[in-house]
Each structure stands twice: as C-alpha cells, then as structure tokens.
A and B are shown apart, each in its own frame.
Chain A
Amino acid sequence: MKVIIGADKVNVQAKDDLVKDLKSEGYEILDVSKEGQDFVDVAVAVARETLKETDNGQDKSETAPRGIVIDTWGSDAFMAANKLKYVICANVSDEHSARMTRRHNGALMITLGTAVVGPELLKNCAKAYLEAPFDAGRHMVRIDMVNKMA
C-alpha cells in the first residue's frame, strides 16, 4: 500500500521515524514534505496527492493509498484538510478511532499531533488506520452526503 505522508517544519523527526517504521513493514512511502511548510501547506499537499491517487477518494479498497499528516496538534491540519472537497480527514489520538475512521468514515487521511501522542502511540495509530478495511454498506450514505458538500 502506498502511504502519502507529510510533516510541518517542526515535526520532521517524528515523520522520519514513522517513515522508517512503515518502510520496514513494507509500505510504499511518498513523502510530500517540503522545507518550511506549515500545517496548512502540508495538510493540503497530502490531501491533494491522496485525492489524486484514489480517484477523489472513491477508491477505498484495502490497498488504496492513504494519507498521514504529522504536525504539533493534529487538530489544526485536520481543520485545513477537511475544507477540501472529497476529503474526509480524521484527527486521531487513539488506536480505536484510527481503525474506526477507516471502517466507518472511509477516511482518506489522518492527522497526528506530536503534542498529543507520543512516539509509540503515534506509530500504533498510523498502523491501526492503515490496516483497517472500509466497511461500506450503510456508511456510504453518509459519505455520499459529505461528498456533496463544499
């Protein structure tokens, strides 16, 4: 599975550590981080690339690419990413939410804040999200509604 990943300028180390872990587990990584990026820049960069790779989020298969953003709070990159049409982004700080947001919301991407989650929890949230399937079924009506919105 391809993982599109990015960090803002102050969280590069946490992102590099996660990239190393995910690579060792066989994930293909596309790092869209650029020097000097703030949380809005990186949220938008990961969102746009993940939209492109998934036919505007329609591909929710088990192997479909997914996005991960690491910044300081998670909630700020979340705020920016969800402004984009077809983006369903989750700010997570526990493994259960990370898994359920893929299963029920078909989340295109997640955000993780280093001020909120420590290194082990960050890694485990990322893995819980990447390993989870999308349940489709009744959940599709809500996703269709969200996708009609601006």
Chain B
Amino acid sequence: MGKTVISIGNDHIVTDIKERISEHLKEEGYEVIDNGTYDKLRTHYPIYGKKTAEKVVSGEAKFGVCLCGTGVGISSSASKVPGARVALVRDVSEAEYARKALNANVVAVGGHITGVDLIAAIVDKFITTEYEKTPEHDAWIKKIDALEGPKPEQTGNDHFFDEFEQKWEEGYYHD
C-alpha cells in the first residue's frame, strides 16, 4: 500500500513553520506534496491555497494543510476551490469535529497564531480522524456543496492569477 499523501501550502511569512510541519509528516510516514511557497520572498496566499486544495479535490492527495499568518487568507482561498471543505482552526478539538461531522478535507491554521507543536497535533488529529457518516452529517455536506458552482477556467489553471501578478510586478499595488 502506498503512503498517504498530504498536500501542503503556505505564504511567505510562515515558510519555516510549513517546513517543520512537512518534516513532521514525513517522519510519521506520510508523503508530502509541498505546493510552496518555498522561501520568504513576498508573494500571495491565494496561489498556494488554490494549489493545495486542488491537489486534494483531484485525488492526488488525501488531505490538505494550509498555513499563513492568521490562516484566514489562505483558507478562504482554498475554500473557493470546488469540492474543498476547509476548516480554519486553532485547536485539536475543532479539527476533530470538522473531520467527523463535515468530512473536511483541508485544515488551515494560523502559523503566527498557533505554535508549531500544536499545529502538528492539529494536523495529526485531522488526518487520522474518520468521517462519521450520519444522515445529518451527509445533509450538511450536501448543503455546503450546493453553495458552489463549477469553475472550469479556474480549476487546474496555473495562469489564473497572472493578471494580478503582473499588476503587482508593475507596482500597481503598494502601501
């Protein structure tokens, strides 16, 4: 049996934390797809939230893990991927609930909010907890899934954000 694959992604402010979590997962015997970013050069969380969640929805990975400062940016981006059910959490109990009741497939944590050891514990619990199939849980998931529409030009498109990256390069966005 092959190793369980975990898709992981982050923005530039938590790259070191992502690496710690990635190493932990590998030590635990998981295979990790690291979607980046890979250094501390300023970049944009939607790129990595989208990539990380798409790997899960496509079946390349079983679960996704998203990290940014508060976790909000990357998790809201990952949520816009059709088929992704993303839980933004700070504690193990929330992660466990999201797996059991909502069959969440991506967990997001704030790398500047939650410490590395707790993040590792959250991820461990998330990927080892089974969905508890009940009529109520199934109905919730169906209701959540019904909120999203297909987005063929978005799915798998590595150039989806090009217009914004270009504007960024050109200095359109500045403080």
In this assembly, does A140 line the interface, its C-beta being within 8 Å of a C-beta of chain B?
Answer: yes
A79 and B113 in contact, given A88-B76, A137-B173 (Cβ under 8 angstroms): no
**Inside 8 A of A82's CB, which chain B residues have their CB?**
75-76, 79-80, 86
A145 and B76 in contact, given A40-B140, A150-B154 (Cβ under 8 angstroms): no
**Inside 8 A of B172's CB, which chain A residues have their CB?**
141
Nearest-neighbour CB distance to chain B for A105, whole angstroms, equals: 5
Contact A142 B144 (CB under 8 A): no
How many chain B residues touch the partner (CB < 8 A)?
52
Contact B87 A78 (CB under 8 A): yes
Contact A142 B46 (CB under 8 A): yes
Contact B70 A83 (CB under 8 A): no
In this assembly, does B147 line the interface, its C-beta being within 8 Å of a C-beta of chain A?
Answer: yes
Contact B113 A76 (CB under 8 A): no
In this assembly, does A124 line the interface, its C-beta being within 8 Å of a C-beta of chain B?
Answer: no
Nearest-neighbour CB distance to chain B for A10, whole angstroms, equals: 13
- Docked Cα-Cα span, A6 to B161, in Å, equals 34
Residue among A78, A94, A135 with the highest chain B CB neighbour number at 10 A: A78
Contact B76 A79 (CB under 8 A): no
In this assembly, does B149 line the interface, its C-beta being within 8 Å of a C-beta of chain A?
Answer: yes
Residue of B98, B143, B151 touching A75 (CB-CB under 8 A): B98
Which B residues lie at the A interface, using CB under 8 A?
A: 42, 44-47, 50, 69-73, 75-77, 79-82, 85-91, 93-94, 97-98, 101-102, 104, 110, 113, 140, 143-144, 147-151, 154, 160-161, 164, 167-168, 172-175
Given A76-B102, A90-B76, A101-B70, 10 extra CB contacts under 8 A: A40-B143, A44-B147, A75-B88, A78-B87, A79-B79, A82-B80, A83-B80, A137-B173, A137-B174, A145-B161
A149 and B50 in contact, given A79-B104, A96-B113, A138-B175 (Cβ under 8 angstroms): yes
Contact A40 B144 (CB under 8 A): yes
Residue of B76, B90, B101 touching A89 (CB-CB under 8 A): B76
- Docked Cα-Cα span, A140 to B74, in Å, equals 14
**Inside 8 A of A31's CB, which chain B residues have their CB?**
none
